[in-house]
Structure 1
Amino acid sequence: MVTLEIKNNIAWVTLNRPEKQNALHLAMFHELDKIIKTLRKNTQIRAVIVSGAGEHFCSGLDVKSIMKKPLAIFQLLFKWLPGNPNLVQRVTLAWKTLPVPVIAVINGHCFGAGLHIAIGADYRIATANAKLAIMESKWGLCPDMGTGVLLPALIPQDKLWLLTSQGSPIDADTAKEYGLISDVHTDTKHAVQSLLDILLTRSPDALAAIKKINNRAYSANRRQVLWQETWCQIRLLLNKNTRVAMHNALAEQAKPYAERSKW
């Protein structure tokens, strides 16, 4: 469901489930995790391109498939130590550990988990028809895929609040205005190739060093942020208002929310 093809030292990682708009199930998280580890060991690759097969980048988490497997949520959220990334956080953050430029090519829907993965890239190119959203609030949950570490370096706090609290899709131009998208192009293949033409003229060691320095410059207290994301998500999964939110997301007749818990 996730493919890796290396051509001319460029790694092409593709979310390959177009019949489901590349919605992510548990196996795809494991596949992404494995691919990133494989790429980290490959000293010959010069860049990584992440894209989605078909008309959409990724519609987010395949909720139905995850809910069918009771242990799936545990596998996604489990971590040995509080400040370490779990599986869902690794497939966002680990792109930053690759010592090469990572470019996400976004078309169509880029929702939820799909957008989190794209945020992990160093550069994001979108088509004009792209729609982007962080959807967790719709389900009564909070973003917990590691973007709490990355998003503050990309967008202002008020935009971050709107994006994460409303859960509503924004178009590519708005996303670029926010700072969520690097550029918008009608021909993303040409845009990617133009960028590669420049990057491939640079020393791979220089690019690796620049990326490492840039990552350090924007890092906050990573362990605390990761732990806070996971702890809040666990609390929300046990929260009665989460069940209301999940009901309201699927039912025509909405239920009222209970009084807010003490946070």
Structure 2
Amino acid sequence: MVTLEIKNNIAWVTLDRAEKQNALHLAMFLELDKIIKVLRKNTKLRAVILSGMGDHFCSGLDVKSIVKKPLSIFRLLFKWMPGNPNLVQRVSLAWKTLPVPVIAVINGHCFGAGLHIALGADYRIATPTAKLAIMESKWGLCPDMGTGVLLPALIQQDKLWLFTSQGTPINVETAKEYGLISDIHTDTAKAVQDLLDTLLTRSPDALAAIKKVNNSAYSANRRKVLRQETWCQIRLLLNKNTRTAMYNAQAQQSKAYKERSKW
């Protein structure tokens, strides 16, 4: 479901479930986590290209497959310490720990969990027809895949609030204006190759050092943010209004919400 191919010291990581718009189930999270660990040990590696098979990058979480197996939710969210990243947070944040450039190529739908993963890349190239969305609010939840750490370096707070609270797709022009997309190209393969042609002329140690320094410069209080993400999500998963939101999203109806809990 996730493929890894290394050619000329370039790793091509592909979400490979095109018939489901590359929607993510538990096994794909586990595969991504394993692949990142493998890549981190490869000292010959020069860059990583992250993409989705077919017409879409990723339509988000495969909700039906997760709901069918409640244990999956536990495996996705479990962590030993509150400030440590859990599985869903690792597959977004861990791209930043790789000492090589990570380039995400976005086409079609890049929604929910798919966008969280893409935001972990160092550079994002999108096709003109791509659409982006963070979808958790539609289900009565909050974003919890580690992008609370990543997004403040990319997007202004008012736009971040609007984007995450509305949960509706935006086009690439708006996404680039917000800072979510680095560049827009019709021929993404050429754009990637042009970028690699420059990066591969640079010292791999220089690139690793630059990435390390930049990550430090733009980092938030990581442990505090991760702890807050997970704690809020657990509270929401146990909240009556979350069940109402999920009902409304599936039934396309507007069942009334109860009074807000104390936050």
- TM interval, short-chain normalised: over 0.9
Aligned pair 1:138/2:132, yes or no?
no
1:57-96 aligned within 5 A: 57-96=57-96
Q: The residue matched to 1:121 in structure 2 has which SS? A: coil
- Could you tell me which amino acid in structure 2 is paired with residue 178 of structure 1? Y
Structure 2 equivalent of residue 224 of structure 1: 224
Structure 1 equivalent of residue 191 of structure 2: 191
1:11-160 aligned within 5 A: 11-160=11-160
Q: The residue matched to 2:14 in structure 1 has which SS? A: strand
- Could you tell me which amino acid in structure 2 is paired with residue 188 of structure 1? T
Q: The residue matched to 2:3 in structure 1 has which SS? A: strand
Q: CA deviation at 1:220?
A: 1.6
- Could you tell me which amino acid in structure 1 is paired with residue 78 of structure 2? F
Q: CA deviation at 1:252?
A: 3.3
1:178-257 aligned within 5 A: 178-257=178-257
Instruction: Report the TM-score, using the length of structure 1 for normalisation.
Output: 1.00
Q: CA deviation at 1:70?
A: 1.3
Q: The residue matched to 2:70 in structure 1 has which SS? A: coil
Q: Which whole-Å CA distance do the structure 2 matches of 1:214 and 1:249 have between them?
A: 39
Q: Which whole-Å CA distance do the structure 2 matches of 1:135 and 1:71 have between them?
A: 22
Q: Which whole-Å CA distance do the structure 2 matches of 1:29 and 1:188 have between them?
A: 25
Q: The residue matched to 1:4 in structure 2 has which SS? A: strand
Q: Which whole-Å CA distance do the structure 2 matches of 1:143 and 1:102 have between them?
A: 22
Q: Which whole-Å CA distance do the structure 2 matches of 1:180 and 1:75 have between them?
A: 29
Cα RMSD of the aligned pairs, angstroms, is 0.4
Number of matched pairs: 263
Q: The residue matched to 1:71 in structure 2 has which SS? A: helix
Q: CA deviation at 1:201?
A: 0.3
- Could you tell me which amino acid in structure 2 is paired with residue 194 of structure 1? D
Q: The residue matched to 1:110 in structure 2 has which SS? A: strand
Q: Which whole-Å CA distance do the structure 1 matches of 2:93 and 2:21 have between them?
A: 23
Instruction: Provide structure 1 residue ranges, at least 5 long, that are not aligned to the other structure.
Output: none
- Could you tell me which amino acid in structure 2 is paired with residue 26 of structure 1? L
Q: The residue matched to 1:24 in structure 2 has which SS? A: coil
Question: Could you give the per-residue CA deviations for residues 189-231 of structure 1, whole angstroms, max 9, x where no partner exists?
Answer: 0000000000000000000000000000011211000000000
